[in-house]
Protein backbone atom coordinates (compact mmCIF):
# COMPACT_ATOMS: atom_id res chain seq x y z
CA UNK A 1 0.00 0.00 0.00
CA UNK A 2 1.53 3.36 -0.92
CA UNK A 3 0.66 6.70 0.56
CA UNK A 4 -1.85 7.64 -2.15
CA UNK A 5 -3.88 4.49 -1.37
CA UNK A 6 -4.01 5.58 2.26
CA UNK A 7 -5.18 9.08 1.33
CA UNK A 8 -8.12 7.58 -0.57
CA UNK A 9 -9.15 5.73 2.60
CA UNK A 10 -9.37 8.89 4.68
CA UNK A 11 -12.33 11.19 5.03
CA UNK A 12 -10.76 14.16 6.82
CA UNK A 13 -7.83 15.07 9.02
CA UNK A 14 -9.08 15.76 12.53
CA UNK A 15 -5.78 16.69 14.16
CA UNK A 16 -2.69 17.57 12.16
CA UNK A 17 0.81 16.42 12.99
CA UNK A 18 1.62 19.95 14.11
CA UNK A 19 -1.39 20.13 16.43
CA UNK A 20 -0.45 16.81 18.03
CA UNK A 21 3.19 17.74 18.49
CA UNK A 22 2.41 21.20 19.87
CA UNK A 23 0.05 19.70 22.43
CA UNK A 24 2.69 17.14 23.43
CA UNK A 25 5.12 19.99 24.15
CA UNK A 26 2.56 21.40 26.58
CA UNK A 27 1.79 18.06 28.23
CA UNK A 28 5.48 17.22 28.63
CA UNK A 29 6.16 20.59 30.28
CA UNK A 30 3.28 20.00 32.68
CA UNK A 31 4.45 16.47 33.51
CA UNK A 32 8.03 17.69 34.11
CA UNK A 33 6.69 20.29 36.52
CA UNK A 34 4.31 17.95 38.34
CA UNK A 35 6.89 15.22 38.92
CA UNK A 36 9.89 17.46 39.55
CA UNK A 37 12.37 15.73 41.83
CA UNK A 38 10.32 12.53 41.86
CA UNK A 39 10.70 9.07 40.41
CA UNK A 40 8.54 8.42 37.33
CA UNK A 41 7.68 5.22 35.49
CA UNK A 42 5.83 5.57 32.18
CA UNK A 43 3.62 2.59 31.31
CA UNK A 44 2.65 2.40 27.65
CA UNK A 45 -0.35 0.33 26.58
CA UNK A 46 0.43 -1.66 23.44
CA UNK A 47 -0.07 -1.26 20.61
CA UNK A 48 -1.88 2.04 20.26
CA UNK A 49 0.26 4.04 22.68
CA UNK A 50 3.57 3.47 20.88
CA UNK A 51 3.56 6.81 19.04
CA UNK A 52 2.47 8.98 21.96
CA UNK A 53 4.87 7.21 24.32
CA UNK A 54 7.82 7.77 21.98
CA UNK A 55 6.98 11.41 21.31
CA UNK A 56 6.04 12.30 24.88
CA UNK A 57 8.99 10.54 26.53
CA UNK A 58 11.58 12.25 24.36
CA UNK A 59 10.16 15.66 25.27
CA UNK A 60 10.56 15.10 29.01
CA UNK A 61 13.60 16.49 30.73
CA UNK A 62 12.86 14.09 33.56
CA UNK A 63 14.79 10.85 33.92
CA UNK A 64 12.01 8.30 33.41
CA UNK A 65 11.76 4.56 33.04
CA UNK A 66 9.51 3.09 30.37
CA UNK A 67 7.64 -0.18 30.55
CA UNK A 68 4.88 -1.75 28.46
CA UNK A 69 1.69 -3.74 28.90
CA UNK A 70 -0.51 -5.40 26.32
CA UNK A 71 -4.14 -5.93 27.27
CA UNK A 72 -7.13 -7.21 25.40
CA UNK A 73 -10.86 -7.20 25.98
CA UNK A 74 -12.01 -10.68 26.81
CA UNK A 75 -13.98 -12.66 24.26
CA UNK A 76 -14.78 -11.98 20.63
CA UNK A 77 -16.73 -9.26 18.91
CA UNK A 78 -17.29 -6.01 20.72
CA UNK A 79 -14.15 -4.60 22.15
CA UNK A 80 -13.80 -2.95 25.51
CA UNK A 81 -16.30 -5.28 27.14
CA UNK A 82 -14.72 -4.21 30.39
CA UNK A 83 -13.35 -7.68 31.00
CA UNK A 84 -9.70 -7.30 30.21
CA UNK A 85 -6.99 -9.91 29.81
CA UNK A 86 -3.29 -9.20 30.28
CA UNK A 87 -1.41 -10.38 27.17
CA UNK A 88 1.94 -8.96 28.27
CA UNK A 89 2.55 -7.82 31.82
CA UNK A 90 5.00 -5.23 33.11
CA UNK A 91 8.60 -6.18 33.83
CA UNK A 92 8.73 -3.62 36.67
CA UNK A 93 7.74 -3.93 40.30
CA UNK A 94 5.42 -0.99 41.04
CA UNK A 95 5.90 -0.88 44.80
CA UNK A 96 6.37 2.74 45.86
CA UNK A 97 6.63 4.02 42.26
CA UNK A 98 4.93 6.99 40.60
CA UNK A 99 3.23 5.39 37.62
CA UNK A 100 1.96 7.35 34.62
CA UNK A 101 -0.08 5.26 32.19
CA UNK A 102 0.35 6.53 28.62
CA UNK A 103 -2.50 5.88 26.18
CA UNK A 104 -3.57 6.88 22.69
CA UNK A 105 -7.31 7.08 23.39
CA UNK A 106 -9.96 6.74 26.06
CA UNK A 107 -13.21 5.81 24.37
CA UNK A 108 -15.65 3.91 26.63
CA UNK A 109 -13.07 4.19 29.40
CA UNK A 110 -13.42 0.51 30.27
CA UNK A 111 -9.84 -0.46 29.40
CA UNK A 112 -8.27 2.33 31.43
CA UNK A 113 -10.67 1.99 34.34
CA UNK A 114 -9.69 -1.66 34.65
CA UNK A 115 -6.01 -0.99 34.11
CA UNK A 116 -5.83 1.80 36.65
CA UNK A 117 -7.32 -0.31 39.39
CA UNK A 118 -5.16 -3.28 38.40
CA UNK A 119 -1.98 -1.19 38.69
CA UNK A 120 -3.20 0.46 41.90
CA UNK A 121 -3.45 -2.97 43.53
CA UNK A 122 0.32 -3.46 43.08
CA UNK A 123 1.35 -0.99 45.79
CA UNK A 124 2.52 2.05 43.77
CA UNK A 125 2.88 5.49 45.33
CA UNK A 126 0.61 6.97 42.64
CA UNK A 127 -1.11 6.02 39.37
CA UNK A 128 -2.12 8.71 36.87
CA UNK A 129 -3.13 8.65 33.21
CA UNK A 130 -1.97 10.62 30.18
CA UNK A 131 -3.95 10.15 26.98
CA UNK A 132 -3.62 11.85 23.63
CA UNK A 133 -7.34 11.60 22.84
CA UNK A 134 -10.55 11.22 24.82
CA UNK A 135 -14.16 10.86 23.71
CA UNK A 136 -16.14 12.37 26.62
CA UNK A 137 -19.54 11.50 25.18
CA UNK A 138 -18.62 7.85 24.67
CA UNK A 139 -17.70 7.26 28.32
CA UNK A 140 -19.36 4.26 29.97
CA UNK A 141 -17.38 4.70 33.15
CA UNK A 142 -15.74 7.72 34.71
CA UNK A 143 -11.98 7.56 34.68
CA UNK A 144 -9.94 10.19 36.41
CA UNK A 145 -7.46 11.36 33.76
CA UNK A 146 -4.75 13.83 34.68
CA UNK A 147 -3.41 14.70 31.22
CA UNK A 148 -5.57 14.87 28.08
CA UNK A 149 -4.30 15.94 24.66
CA UNK A 150 -7.64 16.56 22.98
CA UNK A 151 -11.31 15.83 23.65
CA UNK A 152 -12.93 14.67 20.41
CA UNK A 153 -16.41 13.76 19.20
CA UNK A 154 -17.74 10.21 19.27
CA UNK A 155 -16.51 9.04 15.89
CA UNK A 156 -14.03 6.38 14.90
CA UNK A 157 -10.57 7.77 14.26
CA UNK A 158 -7.29 6.34 12.99
CA UNK A 159 -3.65 7.37 12.88
CA UNK A 160 -0.99 8.27 15.42
CA UNK A 161 -1.10 4.73 16.83
CA UNK A 162 -4.82 4.16 16.31
CA UNK A 163 -5.80 1.41 13.91
CA UNK A 164 -8.67 0.06 11.92
CA UNK A 165 -8.05 -3.66 11.37
CA UNK A 166 -4.40 -3.05 12.33
CA UNK A 167 -3.85 -0.45 9.59
CA UNK A 168 -3.25 3.32 9.65
CA UNK A 169 -1.30 3.30 12.94
CA UNK A 170 1.70 4.86 11.20
CA UNK A 171 -0.07 8.04 10.06
CA UNK A 172 1.51 11.05 11.81
CA UNK A 173 -1.93 12.72 12.16
CA UNK A 174 -5.41 11.68 13.35
CA UNK A 175 -8.10 11.23 10.71
CA UNK A 176 -11.55 9.83 10.11
CA UNK A 177 -12.04 7.03 7.59
CA UNK A 178 -13.97 7.15 4.34
CA UNK A 179 -17.17 5.06 4.44
CA UNK A 180 -15.93 2.64 1.73
CA UNK A 181 -13.25 1.38 4.13
CA UNK A 182 -15.91 0.00 6.45
CA UNK A 183 -17.55 -1.68 3.50
CA UNK A 184 -20.09 1.12 3.27
O1 LIG B 1 -11.79 3.26 26.28
P2 LIG B 1 -11.95 1.95 25.58
O3 LIG B 1 -13.31 1.83 24.92
O4 LIG B 1 -11.67 0.79 26.46
O5 LIG B 1 -10.94 1.91 24.32
C6 LIG B 1 -9.63 2.37 24.38
C7 LIG B 1 -8.64 1.27 24.14
O8 LIG B 1 -8.91 0.63 22.88
C9 LIG B 1 -7.76 0.72 22.04
O10 LIG B 1 -6.91 -0.38 22.18
P11 LIG B 1 -7.20 -1.81 21.51
O12 LIG B 1 -7.75 -2.73 22.55
O13 LIG B 1 -7.98 -1.63 20.25
O14 LIG B 1 -5.76 -2.34 21.17
P15 LIG B 1 -4.56 -1.63 20.36
O16 LIG B 1 -4.02 -0.55 21.26
O17 LIG B 1 -3.59 -2.73 20.13
O18 LIG B 1 -5.16 -1.07 19.10
C19 LIG B 1 -7.02 1.94 22.56
O20 LIG B 1 -5.64 1.89 22.23
C21 LIG B 1 -7.25 1.87 24.04
O22 LIG B 1 -6.32 1.03 24.67
O1 LIG C 1 -11.75 5.67 17.60
C2 LIG C 1 -10.97 4.69 17.73
N3 LIG C 1 -10.12 4.33 16.73
C4 LIG C 1 -9.27 3.28 16.81
N5 LIG C 1 -9.21 2.49 17.88
C6 LIG C 1 -10.03 2.78 18.93
N7 LIG C 1 -10.17 2.15 20.12
C8 LIG C 1 -11.10 2.80 20.81
N9 LIG C 1 -11.60 3.84 20.09
C10 LIG C 1 -10.93 3.85 18.89
MG1 LIG D 1 -4.58 0.33 23.19
Which sign, positive or negative, has the C-alpha torsion 7, 9, 15, 19? negative
For position 83, what pLDDT does the model report? Answer: 80
Residue 66 has pLDDT above 70, yes or no: yes
For position 78, what pLDDT does the model report? Answer: 45
Spatial distance between the Cα atoms of 129 and 3, rounded to a whole number of angstroms: 33
Q: pLDDT tens digits for 103-147?
A: 999 999 999 999 999 999 999 999 999 999 999 999 999 999 999
107 part of the active site? yes
**What's the CA-to-centroid distance between 103 and ligand 1, angstroms?**
8
- Tell me which ligand sits closest to the C-alpha of residue 14: 2
Spatial distance between the Cα atoms of 34 and 22, rounded to a whole number of angstroms: 19
Cβ–ligand 1 contact at 103 (below 6 Å):
yes
Residue 167's CB is within 10 A of a number of other CB atoms, namely: 14
Residue 4 has pLDDT above 90, yes or no: no
Residue 74 has pLDDT above 80, yes or no: no
Cβ-proximal residues to 143 (8 Å cutoff; 6+ apart), any chain: 106, 109, 112, 113, 116, 129
Strand 10-15 to 174-177 pairing = antiparallel
Cβ–ligand 2 contact at 105 (below 6 Å):
yes
Q: pLDDT tens digits for 10-52?
A: 999 999 999 999 999 999 999 999 999 999 999 999 999 999 9
- Tell me which ligand sits closest to the C-alpha of residue 152: 2
In this structure, whether the domain defined by 18-153 belongs to CATH 3.40.309.10 is answered with no
Domain positions in the chain are: 18-153
Cβ–ligand 1 contact at 14 (below 6 Å):
no
Per-chain mean pLDDT for the chain: 92
- ipTM score here? 0.97
Amino acid sequence: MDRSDVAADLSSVLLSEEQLQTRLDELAAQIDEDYRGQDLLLVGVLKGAVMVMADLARRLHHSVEMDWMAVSSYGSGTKSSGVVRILKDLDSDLTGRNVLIVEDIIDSGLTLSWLKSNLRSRGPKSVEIATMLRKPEAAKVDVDVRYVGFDIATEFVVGYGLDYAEKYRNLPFVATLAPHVYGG
